[in-house]
């Protein structure tokens, strides 16, 4: 599906899958992870993850603005729970599988290539 406008990404998205990419292959994380992605007008975004790792609960989030330029998504981080992400701009390639599924790819805040699949939450 071709992106026609920024408004097509607006909404609340639920994490389906997050994998690291190593040598072109998807590598699953060895722990359960939950996440939400929110895009809203005017160009506001929020990304949050919760997970249990090493028998401890962890939470990671960031928020700020987003822009779309030349087929790339840019997350301009203003607030973050991770200092390495604070006040940075994260570049993401993106594509839609369909109108309710978006895939973002790029380097995470640790510099590891990652692929994240999000499903749009449909409110009835």
Domain ranges, residue 46: 6-120
Q: Are the CB atoms for 36 and 48 separated by under 8 Å?
A: yes
User: What's the rounded mean pLDDT across residues 42-56?
Assistant: 94
Residue 2 — very low, low, confident or very high, per pLDDT cuts 50/70/90? low
* Residue 77 belongs to a domain: yes
Only one residue has tokens 């809203």, namely 40
Q: Report pLDDT digits (tens) over 104-113.
A: 999 987 789 9
Only one residue has tokens 């997350």, namely 75
pLDDT > 50? residue 1: no
Q: Are the CB atoms for 9 and 2 separated by under 8 Å?
A: no
pLDDT > 90? residue 91: yes
Number of domains, the chain: 1
User: What's the rounded mean pLDDT across residues 63-87?
Assistant: 94
Residue 36: closest CA among 49, 45, 23? 49
**Residue 50 belongs to domain with CATH number:** 2.40.128.20
* Residue 1 belongs to a domain: no
């Amino acid at each position: 599906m071709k992106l026609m406008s920024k408004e097509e990404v607006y909404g609340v998205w639920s994490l389906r899958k997050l994998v690291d990419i190593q040598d072109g292959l998807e590598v699953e994380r060895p722990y359960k992870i939950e996440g939400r992605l929110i895009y809203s007008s005017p160009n506001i975004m929020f990304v949050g993850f919760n997970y249990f790792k090493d028998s401890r609960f962890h939470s990671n989030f960031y928020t700020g603005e987003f822009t779309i330029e030349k087929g790339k998504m840019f997350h301009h981080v203003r607030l973050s729970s991770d200092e390495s992400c604070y006040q940075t701009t994260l570049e993401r390639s993106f594509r839609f599988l369909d109108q309710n599924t978006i895939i973002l790819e790029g380097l995470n805040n640790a510099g590891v290539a990652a692929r994240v699949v999000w499903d749009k939450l449909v409110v009835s």
